[in-house]
């Protein structure tokens, strides 16, 4: 009916209630204040800490053409190879930008191995299955590249000073809690053994 239509039109044209208008104004002012705030600078991010980590271990190999790491995603015999990839593969790429450096992993891999190709020799495959630590993998790889013993020892010492990538019994990697997305983390570093007199 015309009367009902005119009533609806008047209601639509009327200004909103004052309390609703005040709430909307407060919300808009709050959002504007949040957008105006500048984010704090995180000193742990940026190019400087990334470069420090990349330059932590001297891995410049002038004759390196390619380096391929193949390992399994699971299994204790592949742990050192996985940690080697996580800690040192980016350093190899940083110091040897012209070399082809890559990794391949799958659940079907039974052996962890590193294939090194130098400019003046045939490819050399190094079996790293079951090695106890990433520094052992690094030593075998550097020896396969014919690096001098003094340079190998210097690189191993620098690698040993890097922070370990391990998960303790409480689910922490160093001082940082591991993001497990609701799944209990697999313990890499075993919990300390209690003394015989302790309960």
Give me the mean pLDDT over the 93-100 stretch.
93
Contacts of 82 (CB under 8 A, 6+ apart): 71, 105
pLDDT of residue 74: 81
* pLDDT tens readout for residues 134-148: 999 999 999 999 899
* pLDDT tens readout for residues 67-94: 999 999 887 788 889 989 988 999 999 9
pLDDT of residue 190: 45
Helices and strands, counts by H and E, the chain:
6, 6
* pLDDT tens readout for residues 105-126: 888 888 999 999 999 889 999 9
Label residue 183 by pLDDT band (50, 70, 90). Answer: very low
Whole-prediction pTM: 0.62
Q: Which of 69, 106, 112, 72 is nearest to 87 (CA)?
A: 69
Contacts of 67 (CB under 8 A, 6+ apart): 92, 96, 99, 100, 101, 102, 114, 115, 116, 117, 141
Contacts of 138 (CB under 8 A, 6+ apart): 57, 84, 88, 155, 156, 159
Contacts of 36 (CB under 8 A, 6+ apart): none
């Amino acid at each position: 009916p015309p009367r009902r239509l005119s009533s609806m039109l008047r209601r639509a044209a009327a200004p909103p209630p004052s309390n609703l208008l005040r709430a909307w104004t407060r919300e808009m002012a709050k959002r504007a204040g949040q957008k105006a705030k500048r984010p704090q600078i995180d000193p742990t991010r940026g190019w400087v800490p990334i470069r420090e980590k990349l330059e932590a271990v001297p891995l410049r190999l002038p004759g390196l053409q390619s380096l391929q790491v193949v390992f399994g995603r699971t299994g204790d015999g592949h742990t050192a190879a996985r940690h080697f990839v996580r800690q040192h593969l980016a350093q190899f790429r940083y110091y040897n930008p012209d070399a082809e450096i890559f990794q391949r992993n799958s659940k079907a891999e039974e052996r962890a191995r590193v294939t090194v190709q130098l400019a003046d020799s045939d490819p050399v495959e190094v079996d790293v299955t079951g090695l106890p630590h990433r520094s052992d993998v690094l030593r075998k790889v550097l020896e396969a590249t014919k690096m001098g013993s003094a340079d190998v020892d210097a690189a191993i010492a620098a690698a040993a000073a890097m922070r370990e990538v391990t998960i303790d019994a409480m689910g922490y990697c160093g001082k940082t809690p591991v993001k497990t997305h609701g799944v209990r983390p697999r313990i890499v570093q075993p919990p300390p053994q209690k003394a015989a007199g302790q309960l």
